[in-house]
């Protein structure tokens, strides 16, 4: 089980697309920094994520960008402590840049 | 209790440095351990003693230094990345006849071997890049 982290907007970077292509159904995805934009309900990306992948988004970075109330219900909001727990639940962490 | 190695590749002007700092605080706050902080590439600028931050902004190098000091963390700065960016300790400054140390106290210049060792020893390695 791998935790994949994405810190760039899906508008400016293809890292989320590249990451999605490698994910299997036990993996986890965490969006942080500008990566949180892809968690918006209006984004087409939630529909492209393989079934079984757990989706997380960093609450603090949503709030910093003023989009806390626009998030797809498929995403679980986490704080930094939950981010740490998630990192420990997974065998390894892949940071896509 | 688990241990983490954090790789910080983002300069103080990047979100990556702040994310890494917040993550490091959460690791400690959750009762886990930081095996090593490894500052690499532009991340070495977090160890620069000459950075001045605007008054209403977080001074990331000082915030890192405070975290390192108060938790006695092992904070390694990649020497090759550092020298290229003008970050030197007293020894390197003397060796290259520069004007003195430009590195904050609490950080240590070393090499990639320290990253390899941390990768073997720590339970998790996490990379914060810009």
Question: What mean pLDDT comes out for the span B28-33?
Answer: 98
B78 included as an active-site residue: yes
pLDDT in tens, B46-85: 999 999 999 999 999 999 999 999 999 999 999 999 999 9
Strand partners, A56: A30, A76
Percentage helix, strand, coil for chain A under 3-state DSSP, each rounded to 5: 40, 25, 35
pLDDT of B64: 98
Q: How many Å lie between the alpha carbon of A44 and the closest alpha carbon of chain B?
A: 24
CATH topology of domain A2-96: Hypothetical Protein Ychn; Chain: A, (3.40.1260)
pLDDT of A60: 98
SS3 (DSSP) at A78: strand
Task: Give chain B's domains with CATH numbers.
Answer: 3-128 (3.40.1260.10)
pLDDT in tens, A35-94: 999 999 877 676 788 888 999 999 999 999 999 999 999 999 999 999 999 999 999 999
Chain A residue numbers with beta carbons less than 8 Å from the beta carbon of B30 are 81, 84-85
Q: Is the pLDDT of residue B94 over 70?
A: yes
Cα gap A97→B16, rounded to integer Å: 11
B26 vs A95: CB contact, 8 Å cut-off?
A: no
Residue from A2, A34, A79, A87 whose CB has the most chain B CBs within 10 Å, to mutate: A87
Stretch among A72-76, B32-36, B115-119 having the lowest mean pLDDT: A72-76
Chain A residue at shortest CA distance from B123: A88
Q: How many Å lie between the alpha carbon of A52 and the closest alpha carbon of chain B?
A: 23
Of B32, B127, B129, the CB nearest to A84: B32
pLDDT of A46: 66
Backbone angles phi, psi at A56, to 5 degrees: -130, 150
Return the DSSP state at B128. Answer: E
A87 vs B124: CB contact, 8 Å cut-off?
A: yes
Q: Which of these, A53, A49, A72, A52, lies nearest to A62 by C-alpha position?
A: A72
Helix axes A80-89, B15-29, angle to 10 degrees: 80
């Amino acid at each position: 089980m791998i935790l994949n982290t994405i810190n760039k907007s899906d508008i400016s970077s293809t890292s989320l697309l590249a990451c999605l292509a490698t994910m299997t159904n036990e993996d986890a995805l965490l969006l942080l920094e500008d990566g949180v934009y892809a968690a918006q309900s209006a984004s087409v990306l939630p529909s492209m994520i393989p079934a079984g992948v757990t989706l997380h988004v960093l609450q603090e970075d949503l709030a910093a960008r003023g989009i806390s109330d626009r998030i797809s219900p498929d995403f679980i909001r986490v704080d930094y402590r939950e981010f740490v727990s998630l990192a420990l639940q997974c065998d390894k962490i892949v940071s896509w840049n | 209790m688990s241990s983490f190695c954090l790789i910080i590749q983002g300069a103080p002007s990047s979100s990556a440095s702040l994310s890494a700092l917040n993550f490091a605080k959460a690791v400690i706050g959750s009762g886990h351990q930081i095996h090593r902080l490894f500052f690499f590439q532009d991340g070495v600028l977090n160890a620069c003693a000459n950075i001045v931050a605007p008054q209403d902004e977080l001074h990331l190098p000082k915030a890192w230094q405070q975290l390192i000091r108060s938790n006695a963390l092992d904070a390694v700065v990649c020497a090759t990345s550092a020298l290229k960016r003008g970050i030197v300790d007293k020894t390197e400054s003397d060796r290259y006849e520069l004007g003195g140390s430009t590195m904050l106290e609490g950080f240590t210049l070393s090499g990639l071997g320290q990253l390899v060792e941390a990768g073997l020893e720590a339970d998790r390695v996490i990379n914060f890049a810009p």
